[in-house]
Structure 1
Amino acid sequence: MLYVTPQSKNDETRYLPAIYLTAHQLLSSCTNSYIFKNLNLTMKNLTLTLEESLVFKVLLLAGYDQSDSELEKVEERQYDMRRMLAAATSANATRYYFTILELQLKQVRLSVLTSKKLSSELKSIKRKMGLTLVRFEHASVNLEPFVRQHPFETSRFLLDCITKHYKEELKSQAMKILGSTDFLGNPSGFLADVSEGVSELVHEGSVGGLVWNVTHGMANSTAKVTGSLSDAVGHVTMDDKHEEHRQKLRLMQTAHSTDHIMAGLKGLGLGLYGGLTSIVSQTYTGATQEGLPGFISGFAKGMVGTVTKPAIGLLDLASSTSLAVRDSSKK
């Protein structure tokens, strides 16, 4: 979920610690204050990957599945805690002075992976939170360091300042995050690949580097767009079993480009088979579960699936082929 972003072999800092902290505290006769000449915290670039089902499971563990009355009790306890914190930040609270306070975290690579199927408990939490996640991968968010000179504040006030600073930094990077979304084809990643290829061409005279980077960017964008389209059309089929089987095929481990091609061909075969049998299977299922109304609705769903399932199979094949080209173009 959270780890240090892998560094290239040419990066001289790759052997340094993930977190580097230096602090110079001065002796003080005051009992409720600490004096620091400086405090510097430096962190390596981090990668944060949020998987939708895991996020809601953490919220479930934190108690967000409670009833409204229970949540009101939790809010009352939180209010009492806030009153205690307010009292702690009074004139007698411990304060910290820094000649210079500096926190450095240059870049965070954000990814959000949405889940196709959630349990009823997790769906309930999702409704309560009103949280809708959009899938994107490896959005590089560049953060300005947090620097303060001569602050003399409580720890609570300093933490609030740090939190506000990084929230503002994330807001300023909103367009970069939007440019990494799958349904747009990750234009930010494509531009990064092109700029890297142009840089190799200018500085190293490598035409091959330009070609490979542009190929990688185009294939990656195509894979994301076709994948998003196939997922969108997949909801139209209204066939949970078919969609579940399709998602299992997409989640298969693919270590090589040929694995992507095989997964795409299997997806195409599943789509063609589903299209041929859609009317019979959907009509039979509807009739056995709901009688005559189910027979009619099942027949209608089957008619839709006859067209959409083969189309989804073709999109899955196109997406897998693009992934194969993307992976094979990596240097």
Structure 2
Amino acid sequence: MYDVDGQVQLIRVRILMEQATIFIELYKETRQWPYRIENQSDAAVIVYQRPPYSAEHGDTDAGAMTVKRYTIPARSTLDYAWDYPSLPGKLLVLNVNHRERDISLQEIGPSVPLQYPAGGSSGTMAIDVYADGLTQVLHLSEFNPIKSIYRRARQGSIADSFEVANIDSAPNLSVKLRLAGVGVSVINSQVEEIAYVTLRGLEISFVDWSIQQSFHVICQWLQIDNQKFGAIYPIVLYPTMISRRSEDTEHPAFHLALVRSKDTSHGVEYIKYFSVLLQEMSFEIDEDFLYTLIEFANFDTDSTSAKPVVERAIGDESMDIPEPHQVESTTQIYFEVFHIQPIKLNLSYISTDRLDLETDPNRAPSSSNPITFLLGVLKMAIGSISDAPIQMNALLMENLRLTPALLVQLLEHHYRQQAISQIHRFLGSADALGNPVGLFNNITSGVVDIFYEPYQGFIMSDRPQDLGYGLIKGTASFMKKTVFGLSDSVSKVTDTIGKGLTAATFDKSFQDRRRISKIRNKPKHALAGLSQGATSFASSVASGLTGVITQPLSGAENEGVGGFFRGVGKGIVGIVAKPMVGVVDLATNVSEGIRNTTTVFDDTVELERTRLPRHIHRDKILRNYNEREAVGQNLLRNTDDGTYAKEHYLAHLELRGDGIVMILTSTRILAVNIKRSKVDWDVSFAGE
């Protein structure tokens, strides 16, 4: 800008963000200009900002713009700022003896030399851009083929053209590490395995050349398993579309590429290329595992120290605007190309009651508080999402120069805005609404197949009958996907209602049995759904009838007279709510069976945990993974729908020919029927 005396005044603008407040700082700059042009050549240079359109294109606004030209004599320097900083795609024009070249001042590094007329001969000017603190410097000098990476093109090419000089193709160092698989066991502070990370087809390569270095990480398969007992989603993260077969190497699940220049003369850490690719992933998590991860993230080695409870108000009464947090750093990173590929996540989340609520009083809902109880039922009813398609747009930037802290803030802001724009997908994938997004996607995919399959048969083949085959195939696909979508929506609505009614029974043992039964007994077809639904209905009715007697007795035994009357109330509620749960479970199992019938003949490989959860001994000493102990522990936990899940496994022995496994725990010996996962008999060491 210009002051009243016509002198140039430089105003620097800085935009900062702190929570919900955007700060725009304007202050007079007296030390550093944004750009500096150093003309160390033998010719005078005229520079000006390229207008958006030239007059020859018929743009009247461009013709009205005043183009300010600056002459830089030989062996002199000019401090420079854009005359029109609001224009997009700003370019600087170099004019040397009427020969012009457009230069991007944001593009650090050497550019193609400029050959210009000089009297009866010609001269060649080397062009280079480097960083000097916050100032971007355009350095012009006489072309020296010994120091430049450019050389004149061979004969027969375009006149006055240059090409990059040949660089020795043989690298100084090349290291490549290939691993068939890597497994990482995640252990929390209570010495419990909570997750297992599997990386298959892992390849790490590093190549060092004379002028640059490249680093690549390729992972063909990425999987994270939930190792907690009773996990609704045993597999948390896995690629959605990639085959799990080891020969599928064309589409890695993850690929990171980085090419770094070894040139240190430009004042920045020079990254020529950075790219991250993550294939479409399915992310499935339940509430129990989510809280486990939160507790693991707040890792505290001193488990005996009590953390103070911090009360947070819903609204802050203070109207003071917080001061923006300014991150100062002297390290500058420059990216020629910074590219994070588009990301797609199919997100599923389900709210649950934790199986160990009695050991976690901070999260256990208080049944004496009706508001807390109603909120818990509401959370159980509407807090589930199935396959919400979350799509994050790509982040592509060129000639990016910033500090590491600003790069982190940029990534946070980009993906935060992307996540906010996807809220409608979360709501549309709610189980309480029947997952309308999933229903719409299934039906529209079937409609596309009705037209696509006959078209393929007509175009790809000369036989007339292929058109009929395509029509039949497309119609069958439409019917299949429509039935799948409708039955899936019905099962999600009924399952949501069932979870809400289950929370209303106040019977934790009933809730745990139902939860484990649903995990283990997933109907594979319609008949199995009808059978399992009828079994669940009968079990719920029986539990409701027996609860009228068992609940008061259990309450009196544990809490005395008050517990007796609370047990009476639970029994009365259960005799009404549990049969209703049975009816809803019957509808859920039947609809799930119909849904799974549509895919029973599909050639799909069911995804399983990489390995069973690790068995950790009572002494809490971490030992090498033992597959036999893991099998025995898993068998004990799943016997009688988790009745013995809290027993400490010691050893087991399979009796040949009988289908019976003897399991030794710290308190008893069990004889387990493997086919039925039921205990035939058990002997307690305490004589119970």
Greater alpha carbon shift after TM alignment, 234-243 vs 27-36: 27-36
State the alpha-carbon separation in 2 of the partners of residues 47 and 228 from structure 1: 21
- Residue 36 of structure 1: SS of its match in structure 2? strand
* Structure 1 residues 235 and 19: CA distance shift in structure 2, 3 A: closer
With the length of structure 1 as denominator, give the TM-score of the two structures: 0.82
With the length of structure 2 as denominator, give the TM-score of the two structures: 0.41
Q: What is the match of residue 548 of structure 2?
A: 279
* Structure 1 residues 123 and 303: CA distance shift in structure 2, 3 A: closer
**How many equivalent pairs are there?**
308
Q: What is the match of residue 96 of structure 2?
A: none
Q: What is the match of residue 491 of structure 2?
A: 223
Tell me how far 1:329 sits from its aligned partner.
Answer: 1.2
Which letter does structure 1 place at the counterpart of 2:580? A
Match of 1:124 among 337, 362, 380: 362
Tell me how far 1:58 sits from its aligned partner.
Answer: 2.6
Greater Rg by CA: 2
- Residue 266 of structure 1: SS of its match in structure 2? helix
Q: What is the match of residue 262 of structure 1?
A: 531
Match of 1:166 among 415, 428, 449: 415
State the alpha-carbon separation in 2 of the partners of residues 179 and 168 from structure 1: 19
Tell me how far 1:268 sits from its aligned partner.
Answer: 0.6
Tell me how far 1:325 sits from its aligned partner.
Answer: 0.7
Greater alpha carbon shift after TM alignment, 185-194 vs 241-250: 241-250
Percent identity over the alignment? 23
Q: What is the match of residue 228 of structure 2?
A: none
Which letter does structure 2 place at the counterpart of 1:256? K
Contact 1:7 1:14 in 2 (8 A): no
- Residue 540 of structure 2: SS of its match in structure 1? helix
State the alpha-carbon separation in 2 of the partners of residues 5 and 50 from structure 1: 15
Q: What is the match of residue 263 of structure 2?
A: 28
Contact 1:233 1:308 in 2 (8 A): yes
Q: What is the match of residue 294 of structure 2?
A: 59
Tell me how far 1:70 sits from its aligned partner.
Answer: 11
Unaligned 5+ runs, structure 2: 1-235, 311-324, 366-378, 454-470, 603-688
Matched, 1:203 2:438: no
Alignment of 1:1-331 (within 5 A): 1-7=236-242, 15-30=250-265, 33-63=268-298, 67-68=306-307, 89-90=328-329, 93-120=330-357, 124=362, 134-204=383-453, 205=471, 206-254=474-522, 256-257=524-525, 258-330=527-599, 331=602
* Structure 1 residues 232 and 126: CA distance shift in structure 2, 3 A: closer
Greater alpha carbon shift after TM alignment, 106-115 vs 263-272: 106-115
State the alpha-carbon separation in 1 of the partners of residues 530 and 404 from structure 2: 55
Tell me how far 1:235 sits from its aligned partner.
Answer: 1.7
Tell me how far 1:27 sits from its aligned partner.
Answer: 4.2
* Structure 1 residues 217 and 8: CA distance shift in structure 2, 3 A: farther
Contact 2:286 2:352 in 1 (8 A): yes
- Residue 583 of structure 2: SS of its match in structure 1? helix
Greater alpha carbon shift after TM alignment, 175-184 vs 308-317: 175-184
* Structure 1 residues 195 and 123: CA distance shift in structure 2, 3 A: farther
Q: What is the match of residue 75 of structure 1?
A: none
Unaligned 5+ runs, structure 1: 72-84
* Structure 1 residues 59 and 106: CA distance shift in structure 2, 3 A: closer
Tell me how far 1:291 sits from its aligned partner.
Answer: 4.3
Tell me how far 1:116 sits from its aligned partner.
Answer: 2.0
State the alpha-carbon separation in 2 of the partners of residues 97 and 64 from structure 1: 36
Which letter does structure 1 place at the counterpart of 2:524? H
* Structure 1 residues 105 and 210: CA distance shift in structure 2, 3 A: same
Q: What is the match of residue 77 of structure 1?
A: none
* Structure 1 residues 19 and 235: CA distance shift in structure 2, 3 A: closer
State the alpha-carbon separation in 2 of the partners of residues 287 and 153 from structure 1: 68
Tell me how far 1:32 sits from its aligned partner.
Answer: 5.3
State the alpha-carbon separation in 2 of the partners of residues 118 and 240 from structure 1: 9
Contact 1:33 1:97 in 2 (8 A): yes
Which letter does structure 2 place at the counterpart of 1:318? A
* Structure 1 residues 167 and 301: CA distance shift in structure 2, 3 A: same
Contact 1:97 1:152 in 2 (8 A): yes
State the alpha-carbon separation in 2 of the partners of residues 101 and 246 from structure 1: 50
Structure with the higher helix share, 1 or 2: 1
- Residue 362 of structure 2: SS of its match in structure 1? helix
Which letter does structure 2 place at the counterpart of 1:223? S
Tell me how far 1:262 sits from its aligned partner.
Answer: 3.4
Contact 2:523 2:593 in 1 (8 A): no
Greater alpha carbon shift after TM alignment, 57-66 vs 156-165: 57-66
Contact 1:56 1:122 in 2 (8 A): no
* Structure 1 residues 125 and 226: CA distance shift in structure 2, 3 A: closer
Higher relative contact order (CA 8 A, sep 6+): 1
Q: What is the match of residue 78 of structure 1?
A: none
Which letter does structure 2 place at the counterpart of 1:249? S
Tell me how far 1:2 sits from its aligned partner.
Answer: 2.5
State the alpha-carbon separation in 1 of the partners of residues 549 and 294 from structure 2: 42
State the alpha-carbon separation in 1 of the partners of residues 499 and 515 from structure 2: 9
- Residue 445 of structure 2: SS of its match in structure 1? helix
